[in-house]
Structure 1
């Protein structure tokens, strides 16, 4: 039990400093001189540490803790000391789930109706958390907690995700975390991550060859931060939000972890669903009468897949399994550190196994590089190509994602996957809660309905901290979640979270007192192809039909109509309206009503500028462009990168090798065209230039690259094909070096800094832009693949 012995008024934050109203003496040695001692701000006595672990892109049927085929002994370890919640729900997508988790409000309430890349000016979709919805971390910090976030943050508005900020919506300082170590965006390369420490970009301590992997790195940082907190302030509890990129694509993991699963998926995804279903019944995480749903429409049967691709498909799943197992291992390291500090028993631990269902964004036969899908270049990645590159899957040579069929299997026993908010496959995620000092139950199951918005009120109730009515002078909107504490020691407690809407890109549902009405608008691998009024609503009696397998819409039309009306009421109440299934309009910042950081036809970059995402860099795709670098060359043997964008999976670089100027264009890792000067650049040259003349006639065409030293042309060559939509998901524009993985095979990932001096680099666009020819449906798929 918590006890606020200081009787602090915690309802308005920051807690006001009260003026001393007693007698003030003239001489400090006067016996009447008395002042109350200065007290450090601490939470109420007995408030626990809080650790929230949020794993990425994991379905209900993946982890062994919930009957899945992937070994997660540390998740099971937490469950043995606490509770498994079998009806815990997310929003079906990354950014919205995280925004809801960290605020205690529905995702549309805090402006995150979709991912940040699809933000509009509508309040429910702006990607801007309003200041009347203070985040949980801010509330805990202002009540005396130490706060830190590690791993993924995909809640920063795209126009604020640059070195100039503003940082109001970054984890630090805007979202209440005193320390942040992780990446900004939907995903990052686990071998070559784009890391920020607070708001400053930093580089990994090593390369993959030297044993570097981001999962291990972020865990080390979390352990070190926790040890320091408890060393210097042992009586001060912490709130740690541990959100790895695992197991979002790219599925990157050391080979030995993937090899643990060799042969365990040869039976294919259909048989795997049956095996998982049987284990789930045996564990009791689904009822004995729960029905295994049919394979969702559009997902191929395992037997339909060709023998050519099957070995690669199996390896995709082995790699994914190894990745989740590896993530569990590092969560275990963090738990070990807490145990070593003597803090684990007094830590409220949430392990939320997935921010949505498993991802069906990897195509029907999977991919060795997501860039093929996002750039509409799947014609390059044939089944034969995937099969031939089986050994690259999971390694630094790939940017891989498994096939749709595996995603569906990872969501067993439910229908559908990530993005599909209408069905449990998209929104039901196994969740574990442990707090040995505060929860008497051990190893039990809880089946009360709960949602990610319930985490924040649960934490505050456990800490004895009231929900604030005012934060930083702004009257607060009440939490919309329901504290789960009532169920901690009572498996039969009546359900308190009785109503919950779901909506994502038109896929929508309403849960109310044991019934769900649902309408799926679009498949996760397809664009929106019809109006909302054409959607077919389904009705399920959850008391009798745990998995939404028996549609009762035709039998109970009045019940369905009642729930449809309730959905509209909830939608109006929580900023869901107007429902937005637009395609090209939301991709275009001007039409969507959100700011764009770069709108000019020219951009000047100065020396030292680095880690500029594609949202904060000028767009050179599908058009001619010129790169002009103002430099000083110490001699005629200069080396290193002048400017680069992207990396080994796609991008371009202007650089020098032994004094010769070179331009490399990397086409998604399958081919790199390199144009070189015939002779070394003369010492004393002040300007180096690349002009790329685009062929035109459509998207992703080739062009001619011409190299200049001053006004003298020193080289020319062809680039046969270019990237039409996006170079990479996370690699960046860097001046004076090529960070992370290298664009060109002419240099390595490290040691590629330019040995001359760069003053500035100017990128000018031509007037022959062909981007308007893009398919609007594909543009939205591009955005959705980023989360």
Structure 2
């Protein structure tokens, strides 16, 4: 084959054009987004063959910009992973810690939505109007759930600076009243800077049967008995990054990989759970001590650190009954298996990127927890986490009935609060408690061979989740924008951690940080720490009013675990810090503080939008599905009727309308032609009202009517079914759920996606013609 000879003048011209392109890219004004393109030229020439086209203009990332991967684990405390001294084997996190640097004073907000929005923007959670999770938004600035226009997500900044961006797993930043075809879609991932999204939108999901979106479209999952969501999201991420690098090898990518694990429900493959059989029989008290000893050996905590005092509500392991120990040990085995399985899947993603040959210039950030481990399982743990949200206690005896299937598809479990305290060792409290490091301090590792020379070292500078975005911006040589779409942006609130990458002794730069969640509040200032424990996560009511809270004072530089209260010794410093908290709280929209818990789940009482508003009657149609509690009409604690128009053949089957799933919900359906209504009470008991006669082929109007007893929440009532005006069945529901049925098993028309409310015997898809389905509530 003859080689093509390129004239030197063309080589010089090509080099000059390339040089001009690089120079032009380096000189782009990246402070204003979108980056303004040059004015278009105009031409007088008629024939394109006689004219010269201008150089192509496009925005590319600054030369040498790294790829970015941010991994975020859910509900994993500081003392859970093996890298940070815990009992859960996480070899991938260990490897990254050995090859990169680990931070032992990195902090989150103590709850999922707030931490995530802070991570994804570089601004405090109240600045993002995410003072709590989206499902408890209120009408006040700082808590209304709507990200302000003056804050632009990091993914959007990177995307507009030449990055491919993708998010996989849990999002939980979209207000629940916007999770429908009516939108707005502005706060969905693919409208918040991500080119690709594959995952779930709510706060948690059933790992065996999740509600998954690809972009904004609900996905129908494969009928695979071995399906697990963490594996699925990893497969999707691997596919995407291989595709992206094959098509655009020179274009950097950003992946946000946020697992639903290890948030409840604790679902893991049995082989991972069984790895830990017998390993927690010693109990949480001894485990806390063992964890602290490992942390000292690893150089993660000072040698003189003491265990933070165990909360008095947590029982001593030695005083538990044999049944309690048996159940609680299995709960922890499941959680540990869940954690190791998750780390394994992260390892598959790591290996896939490494196989592409780009890992040396990839900033890989692995955050082991968006808050401390969760004590929402209360003192005994839970077979079905939805009992917590409905304030229905579960006994040890009830849970032991399911011990052999714990963590499998027939459970929706959570562990006892004692394990949460143990997973947050060496600290005292847990998730939701923003005023204790057990709720906010999480292990974090960064690996970036091209930008970090140090290996295996620990960084002790104070850092916060709002620091991740500015760190990435500085690593990528991209400024936080000052103007986006003509709107002035707030100054970024986080502090880049880049200064600490190769200097373990560098002076701390993030010197002041407030914390607040449901009234638990604190302030950090140059090592000093003032705080009040307003309400532990396992309690539903505060221990005192906001005005009557008792404040503590600590020197966190000398007292790693907050075990020595100095309030009485230094009242002047405490007063100074309390005043600083109020100043910061006012500045960042923390005030007024709302310490209500379950009350905030009721949209009307707190002024949060609800698509139903004051409507008492809604008509639905076939194909409408995946409707959440802020989108679907509320039938709880009231009387209501369901009127459906159907056309069927003989022995018709399928769901007319349902809400919820295996662990709580209702379904109105046909089985062998007979209209049936099933009310599934928290997966603990089912009430059935069934017609004795099947429908004749043809058109019919079927009505389910429920007359609520009244007299409070969660009461029962009388139920009847009529067909074409004739009563065909009647019965009684002894009780109903006062709160939500499910976070991710939502309302469907004509089918029952996710887990099934009832045993239909056949497919849940309605096999006749389904007309209007009207639900009307009555007082």
2:22 is the counterpart of 1:7? no
1:189 aligns with 2:206: yes
1:139 aligned residue (138, 154, 157): 157
SS at match of 1:203: coil
Cα-to-partner distance string for 1:299-341 (whole Å, 9 max, x where unaligned)? 2211232222211110000000000001000000000110111
How many Å apart are 1:587 and its aligned residue? 4.1
How many angstroms apart in 2 are the aligned matches of 1:169 and 1:62? 32
Q: Which residue of 2 aligns with 1:178?
A: 195
* CA shift digits 1:200-259 (9 cap, x unpaired): 11122224xx21011111111111111110011111111111111100000011111100
SS at the partner of 1:9? coil
**TM superposition shift of 1:594:** 2.1
Counterparts in 2 of 1:618 and 1:5: CA distance versus 1, 3 Å: closer
Q: 2:147 aligns with which of 110, 129, 139?
A: 129
Q: 2:417 aligns with which of 391, 396, 404?
A: 404
Give deviations 1:157-213, integer Å, cap 9, x for gaps. Answer: 12212232111111111x111111111111111111011111111122224xx2101
**1:4–1:190: structure 2 CA closer, same or farther, 3 Å change rule?**
farther
**Preserved contact between residue 685 and residue 710 of structure 1 (Cα < 8 Å):** no
1:4, distance to aligned residue in structure 2 (A): 7.4
Distance between the aligned counterparts of 1:688 and 1:329, measured in 2?
A: 50
Partner of 2:509: 496
Q: Hey, what does 2:437 align to over in structure 1?
A: 424
Query: Which shows bigger deviation, 323-332 or 570-579?
Result: 570-579
Mapped to 2, the partners of 1:666 and 1:586 lie a distance apart of: 25
SS of the counterpart of 2:322?
A: coil
The runs of 5 or more residues in structure 1 that have no matched partner are 768-787
> Among residues 149, 169, 173, which one is paired with 1:155 in the alignment?
173
Secondary structure at the residue paired with 2:205? coil
Deviations, residues 403-436 of structure 1 (Å, cap 9, x unaligned): 0000000000011011111110010000001111
Distance 1:275 1:529, change over 3 A: closer
Alignment of 1:260-275 (within 5 A): 260-275=275-290
Conserved in 2, the CA contact under 8 Å of 1:628 and 1:687? yes
Q: Distance in 2 between matches of 1:27 and 1:639?
A: 67
Once residues 513 and 24 of structure 1 are traced to their aligned partners in structure 2, the CA distance between those partners, rounded to angstroms, is 66
Counterpart residue number, 2:447: 434
Checking the alignment, whether the CA contact within 8 Å between 1:103 and 1:456 is kept in structure 2 is yes
Please tell me whether the aligned partners of residues 685 and 709 of structure 1 are also in contact (alpha carbons under 8 angstroms): no
- Using the size of structure 2 for normalisation, the TM-score is 0.95
Quick check: 612-621 or 218-227, which moved more? 612-621
Other-structure match for 1:368: 383
Whether 2:94 is the aligned partner of 1:64: answer: no
Aligned to 1:44: 62
Residue 335 of structure 2 aligns with which residue?
Answer: 320
Q: Does the CA-based 8 Å contact 1:3-1:46 persist in structure 2?
A: no
User: Which is further off, 142-151 or 3-12?
Assistant: 3-12
Number of equivalenced pairs: 756
Other-structure match for 1:241: 256
In 1: Cα distance, 2:31 partner to 2:349 partner: 33
* SS class of match (1:128): coil
Q: Check conservation: 1:4, 1:44, Cα contact below 8 A.
A: no
Deviations 1:601-633 (A, max 9, x none): 111111110011122111111222111111111
Whole-angstrom CA distance in 1 between matches of 2:355 and 2:23: 26
SS of 1:123's equivalent in the other structure is: coil
Confirm whether residue 108 of structure 1 aligns to residue 126 of structure 2.
yes
CA distance 1:550–1:466, change in 2 (3 Å): same
Q: What is the distance in 1 between the residues matched to 2:166 and 2:386?
A: 32
Q: Equivalents in 2 of 1:307, 1:36: separation in Å?
A: 80
| Structure 1 match to 2:768 | 756
| Aligned equivalent of 1:166, options 184, 200, 205 | 184
Q: Secondary structure at the match of 2:636?
A: coil
The 5 Å alignment of 1:735-774 reads 735-747=749-761, 751-767=763-779
1:19 maps to 2:33 = no
Judged with a 3 Å threshold, the aligned counterparts in structure 2 of structure 1 residues 350 and 663 are, in CA distance, closer, same or farther, namely same
For 1:24 and 1:408, locate their aligned partners in 2 and report how far apart those are by CA, in whole Å.
76
Please state if 1:576 is matched with 2:595: no
Residue 558 (structure 2) pairs with residue 540 (structure 1): no
Which position in structure 2 is the counterpart of 1:784?
A: none
Q: Structure 2: which 5+ residue stretches go unaligned? A: 1-21
Rate the CA distance shift 1:470–1:419 in 2: closer, same or farther, 3 A: same
Question: What is the distance in 2 between the residues matched to 1:761 and 1:23?
Answer: 61
2:266 and 2:189 map into 1 onto residues whose CA distance is: 25
Quote how far apart the aligned CAs of 1:704 are: 2.6
3-state SS, counterpart of residue 56 of structure 1: coil
The alignment status of 1:620 with 2:635, answered yes or no, reads yes
Q: Please point out which of 549, 563, 587 is paired with 2:563.
A: 549
Cα distance per residue 1:626-664 (max 9 Å; x no partner): 11111111x221111111111111111111111111111
**Residue 296 of structure 1, CA deviation:** 1.7
Structure 2 Cα separation of the partners of residues 544 and 675 of structure 1: 65
**Cα distance in 1 for residues equivalent to 2:78 and 2:756:** 37
437, 445, 456: which is aligned to 1:443?
A: 456
Q: CA deviation at 1:693?
A: 2.3
Aligned-residue offset at 1:696: 3.0
Q: Quote the Cα distance in structure 2 between the aligned partners of 1:280 and 1:193.
A: 36
2:481 pairs with 1:468: yes
2: CA distance between counterparts of 1:657 and 1:28?
70
Asked if the contact 2:79–2:422 (Cα under 8 Å) also holds between the matched residues in 1, the reply is: yes
The 1-side partners of 2:699 and 2:267 are apart by: 43
Equivalent pair of 2:379/2:538 in contact (CA under 8 Å)? no
Number of the residue aligned with 2:14: none
State the shift of 1:39 in Å. Answer: 3.9
What TM-score comes out, normalization by structure 1 length? 0.94
Alpha-carbon contact 2:645-2:699 (below 8 Å) kept: no
